[in-house]
Amino acid sequence: MTAPPRLPSTPTTAPDREGGQREEGGLHLHPVRPAVLDHLVLRVADLERSTVFYRDVLGCTVEKWQPELGLLQLRAGSSLIDLVTLDGPLGREAGAGPAREGRNLDHFCLRLEHFDEPALRAHLAAHGVAASPSAQRYGAQGYGVSLYIQDPDGNSVELKAPRPG
């Protein structure tokens, strides 16, 4: 097992305009405070195949099509999953597409509103999608049960149960 990387002992924040640290209620405020993941962009070889996967298998809804960019945006809760065609203007800018030796990313995780594992597995199987064994994994909301699947371009997608109430 490898040791975690060495991190600075205290978080750093950027100085305010006058050169001092900003404070609110005695707490230092970092100038960048992420609230939620807005969107992620996946480069895809076959837009129709990927649309069917994200819409029909994962329940995303089509939000916006921008043909001049080769960009289809799908709603996933409060976030978007953007699908960019490899042969479109945006896709061509990034070079070769994902392959076994060079992927778009390691994985991303979708937290589900409910997680009925037998029903979820049956749904995935009906669409020809294999799923990993489920396990407890740590994420933004703490530990929860999840499983992994792959989209048509080989991107790994983690499907995670909602945080226990």
- The residues pairing with 156 across neighbouring beta strands, listed in sequence order, are 107, 150
Cα gap 61→75, rounded to integer Å: 5
The structure's pTM equals 0.71
pLDDT of residue 109: 92
The first and second tokens of residue 138, run together, are 């740590």
What order of strands is seen across the sheet that includes strand 79-85? 39-44, 79-85, 71-76, 61-66
pLDDT of residue 20: 47
Tell me which residues of the chain have a pLDDT lower than 50: 13-14, 18-21
pLDDT of residue 132: 96
pLDDT of residue 60: 96
Q: What's the CA dihedral at 95, 97, 102, 105 to 10 degrees?
A: 100
pLDDT of residue 117: 94
Cα gap 75→141, rounded to integer Å: 20
pLDDT of residue 139: 84
pLDDT of residue 92: 79
Q: For 115-163, what is each residue's pLDDT tens digit?
A: 999 999 999 999 999 999 999 998 878 888 999 999 998 888 999 998 8
